[in-house]
Amino acid sequence: MDPEVRAAHEWFEGNSGWAPPDEDTLDEWAADGVSKAPDDCVTTVEGTCSHGLASWHRVLAALES
């Protein structure tokens, strides 16, 4: 697991937990070339927010792999 994805999971444990955006929202973000991190920071689809958390796209892709 990428360190940033791991950091996101650690964030879930310390915060309100697991609340991924729905698929339509993720697709809209991706169409604009953006994503959000679990702490609501705007980042890129393949990016990491300024706090070191992976984007939702990365977190969810890691679950599927």
**Is 6 a binder of Zn ion (CB under 5 A)?**
no
Q: Which stretch binds Zn ion (CB under 5 A): 3-11, 23-31, 37-45, 54-62?
A: 37-45
**Is 41 a binder of Zn ion (CB under 5 A)?**
yes
The least distance separating Zn ion from the CB of residue 44, rounded to whole angstroms, comes to 13
36, containing H or E segment = strand 35-36
The least distance separating Zn ion from the CB of residue 32, rounded to whole angstroms, comes to 18
Buried b (16+ CB within 10 A) or exposed e, 18-44: eeebeeeebeebeeeeebbbbeeeebb
